[in-house]
Amino acid sequence: MSELFDPIKLRNVALANRIVISPMCQYSAVDGNATSWHMAHLSSLALGGAGLLCIEATAVTAEGRITPGCLGLWNDDNEAALAAVVKVLRATSGIRLAIQLGHAGRKGSSAAPWDGGQLIAQDKGGWLPVAPSALAHKHSEPPPRALTVEDLAGIKKAFVDAARRAVRLGLDAIELHAAHGYLLHQFLSPISNQRSDEYGGILENRMRFPLEVFQDVRAAIPDGMALGIRVSATDWVDSVPSWTLDQTVEFALRVKQLGADWIDVSSGGVSPEQQIPVGPGYQVPLAETLKREVGLPTIAVGLITSAQQAQDIITQGKADMVALGRAALYDPRWAWHAAAELGGQVQGPSQYWRALPAGKNRVFGETSFGMR
């Protein structure tokens, strides 16, 4: 049996295997509401045999969207639209479902990638982004509005309210987005956080707001519901003080104390000056360090594409789970093909039984369903 297909439990949430479908922005919502595209996209991924499917980065406020087309969970309409999608996923797949809650901060009001991905001016339909400090993501952009302490209380409440909506939706788990240069990461990194109050300066202060959000969300959801966090383990910027792996270890130890059930280890995103050594599995060493130093169940992400590569990450103890993004879009049945290659087993709908992998080097099952 392949270790990649061993079960794992996150709090009370049992996963059939170690394969996670990463949250992937689709930029296809309307006023934060899920659409037919989300129904088709998530249904395809839900039938692929992974252990956990994480719904894309979902904004907790309207101004917290990355783009005008980003999914949201800040009002009743958002909740109802996503409930329709979740209902279909539950009716057709046994996959466990998570949602990633986040706030874009100064990277909000952006155009969709296929429209250039740049900041949308307020007079062109955009909005004024907010951030820890009035520092633009790019020097060519106008600065965001610096958040007041009163604003922070409102955003914490928005995270809690969205988490409660996720509970009402019947989701199994929540991941808080503290990576990729979005708001919680912006507070952690001295590149984007140059506040002089209790939320800026030394590491303890820069960690304060993300930790408060995590603590408040943990307290607002049922004890058995799993809660994890995605981090950028390094900013990949050496020219100025930045967020580093050592600081990430300290932060992860703190969220562990607050009841985190996993840490999802990515990197970068807070500065255009980043120098990322992109290559197959380039972020796996970051996950390995956090797994060793923190002891939380750890997810490795980033250019993990082949079954043997994923298997090696698990068997060599570098991470507890692997998350797939583009590889899953390219091949929604990635887990099936990995099971066939590695001798694992995947769960699938009865209607697909005859197509499920049936052991190493036997691509299809032989059950005939008793048909004449």
Q: What Rg, from alpha-carbon coordinates, does the chain have?
A: 20
Secondary structure (3-state) at 159: helix
Q: Which two tokens stand for residue 284?
A: 């796996």
Q: Which two tokens stand for residue 354?
A: 């005859």
Question: Residue 30 carries which DSSP code?
Answer: B
Sign of CA dihedral 200, 202, 206, 211: negative
Residues 6+ apart with CB under 8 A from 330: none
Q: Which two tokens stand for residue 27?
A: 């930029």
Residues 6+ apart with CB under 8 A from 313: 281, 284, 300, 304, 319, 322
Nearest alpha carbon to residue 106 among 235, 271, 252: 271
Show which residues are catalytic. Answer: 182
CA–CA dist 201, 357 (Å, integer): 54
Nearest alpha carbon to residue 57 among 185, 222, 177, 219: 177
Count how many residues are written for the chain.
Answer: 372
